[in-house]
Amino acid sequence: MTAKQLEHKLLTIPLVAIARHIPGDRLIPAAQALYAGGVRFIEVTLNSQGALDSIKALCRAFMHTDMSIGAGTVLGRAAAREAMDAGASFLVCPHTDPAVIEEALKADALALPGVMTPTDVAVALGAGARVMKLFPAGALGAAYVRQLRAPFDHVPFLAVGGVNLDNAAQYLAAGCAGLGLGGALVDAQAVMRGDYLVLTRLAQRYIALLSSSSYHEE
């Protein structure tokens, strides 16, 4: 799948599950539970133990499905290359790094740089990014989103960091195109209990929220 196709797919179901520090033996069943709930994008953060092996394992497990596997916390060009060599089709950063965006573009992978300020957005656009991760959204607040989108209303932002079922609708109403969710979706305690159904139900609730038209501002 090309980067453009991935972008279209992401904006159709704009929910990214963030798997951080999930043990390798628990990751596949957790991802399967998320998939059953409607998730079609999952990233493994590169600061997780065995992250590259986990990306490879997920790619094998979901080879014949429409689940897209990516890497998160991609810090630099070398990390981007390693992640894509492991099979990652999209790269997520906590920051704006033109080198990572460049590597993704060269491989026809999707780059999701982290942005916070107008300068970050401008730099990411200049490097060729099209969809961006607004981080840390929870600290910035929905009012900030509205202000940032005034000059950048053509940029799709995913709200990431401190977003949960209690406040997700606020970020969507403020104009965010979608959500990136870690512990609020990939519930580590449920995973360690082996209660994967919790993940399926959480995913269904977020998908329902994203599918609703009620959050859009008038």
Q: Which residues are catalytic?
A: 43, 133
Q: How far apart are CA 170 and CA 6, in angstroms?
A: 26
Going by C-beta distance under 8 Å and a sequence separation of 6 or more, which residues neighbour residue 16?
A: 10, 41, 42, 43, 70, 92, 112, 158, 160, 178, 179, 180, 181
DSSP code per residue over 20-56? -S--HHHHHHHHHHHHHTT--EEEEETTSTTHHHHHH
Q: Looking only at Cα atoms, what is the longest distance across the chain?
A: 46
**Cα R_g (the chain), whole angstroms:** 16
Q: Tell me which DSSP letter residue 132 carries.
A: E
Q: Tell me which DSSP letter residue 2 carries.
A: -
Query: Which pair of tokens denotes residue 94?
Result: 């906590």
